[in-house]
Structure 1
Amino acid sequence: MSIEKIVEQALQDGYLTPVMEAEVGRICDNASELSIEEYMALDRMMGALLTGEVVAVPRKQFINVMEELVLTETIARIAEIEATSERTLDVGDIAAYALNRLPPLYATTEEGASWQRQRAKIELQELIDQQVSEAISRNLDRPNDGKTPMLGKGTGNEVLRQVSTLLQTYAHSFEQKVQG
């Protein structure tokens, strides 16, 4: 999307979302020089923001207390396991697995977050422990032999090559299941 279209959308909606703001930033970072139209659009946006015609939506207006609780539990459990074994566990994978199986607990203020934390410790701590345990168990059961292909970081072409390799690796199994 162009800067002009983003500004037009923001003026129409009355809001500049974090996604719109990031896209304008990306365009500006990647452009060696902006056009006069782009500068004019940015000037219109600045004026609209200053007058209140357009409101910039903050990046995060809420807190998911469940994320905090799951991360705290995950890190504590992983530290125990890694201290007594040679295994290295992925905090992100484990927390994501557990979070996908737990209810979110959103709050918009610190008081609301405190209330959600207390409620979760009383009503949901057992479920949190259970889901983190299940996530760790699944992570430990995953082969760590270097044969399991994983996507790494890299350029667009490198990621494309990795995705192609993954597809080639699993396509044979998929074709057998479909035909069989």
Structure 2
Amino acid sequence: MSIEKIVDQALQDGYLTPSMEAEVGRICNTASELSIEEYMALDRLMGALLTGEVVVLPRKQFINVMEELVLSEAISQAVEIDKDGDQSLDVGDIAAYALNRLPPLYATTEEGAQYQRSRAKEELQSLIASQVKEAIARNLDRAAQNQTVLGQISDTPLLEQMNILLKAYAADYEPDDESEPSTPN
């Protein structure tokens, strides 16, 4: 969308949204030089903002309470596992896996976030714990697979080692016959 269209839309609606503001900023930052029309549109927008004809909508802050709860649970479970063995766990991967299987709990105020926290602790704590446990198990399985593959590489040539490693990371990948590169003669 052009600056002129954004300004026309803002004047028509009476407000400038955060996405409209970001688009104008992006255009101004990437253009090597603005046209006379673009400068005139920006001047109209500035005048409308100064007179109150157009108001800037504030950016809304959102809090996903589920992220906090899952991270706390992932850290506490990971600490327990780290005490028992020498496995290294990726808390970020664990949290992302669990979050993809849990409902988001968004809030826009601290009061709303507090409500979502108490509700989640009452209704969803066991689900959160089980999803984090599943994520940790998956993380440990993946680490064990990688150790097995790397442990198998010993006295083999470099290209064969790379082939084994690539097969381990892309186990489900099957190249099409058409996509294989042809060798020049």
Q: TM-score, normalised by structure 1?
A: 0.67
Q: Which amino acid aligns with 2:30?
A: N
Q: Which amino acid aligns with 2:125?
A: Q
| Superposition pairs of residues 27-66 of structure 1, within 5 angstroms | 27-66=27-66
Call closer, same or farther: CA 1:133–1:17 in 2, change over 3 Å: farther
- Report the counterpart of residue 71 of structure 1 in structure 2: 71
Listed as ranges, the gaps of 5+ residues in structure 2 are: 151-164, 179-185
List per-residue Cα deviations over 1:58-102 (Å, max 9, x = no partner): 3334322112222332344445556743535260x4333322222
1:170 aligns with 2:173: yes
- Report the counterpart of residue 131 of structure 2 in structure 1: 131
1:89 aligns with 2:60: no
Q: Which amino acid aligns with 2:28?
A: C
Call closer, same or farther: CA 1:3–1:130 in 2, change over 3 Å: same
Call closer, same or farther: CA 1:95–1:46 in 2, change over 3 Å: farther
Listed as ranges, the gaps of 5+ residues in structure 1 are: 150-168, 176-180
Call closer, same or farther: CA 1:121–1:28 in 2, change over 3 Å: same
Q: TM-score, normalised by structure 2?
A: 0.65
Worse-matched range after superposition: 131-140 or 121-130: 131-140
- Report the counterpart of residue 161 of structure 1 in structure 2: none
List per-residue Cα deviations over 1:29-75 (Å, max 9, x = no partner): 22222222222222222333333433333333432211222233234
List per-residue Cα deviations over 1:115-158 (Å, max 9, x = no partner): 21112112211111111222232333335465326xxxxxxxxx
SS in 2 for 1:58: coil
Q: Distance in 2 between matches of 1:87 and 1:4?
A: 54
Q: Which amino acid aligns with 2:2?
A: S
Q: Which amino acid aligns with 2:25?
A: G
Q: Which amino acid aligns with 1:27?
A: I
- Report the counterpart of residue 24 of structure 2 in structure 1: 24
Call closer, same or farther: CA 1:141–1:106 in 2, change over 3 Å: same
Q: Which amino acid aligns with 1:17?
A: T
Structure of larger gyration radius = 2
Call closer, same or farther: CA 1:95–1:14 in 2, change over 3 Å: farther
When the two structures are aligned, how many residues end up with a matched partner?
Answer: 154
- Report the counterpart of residue 110 of structure 1 in structure 2: 110
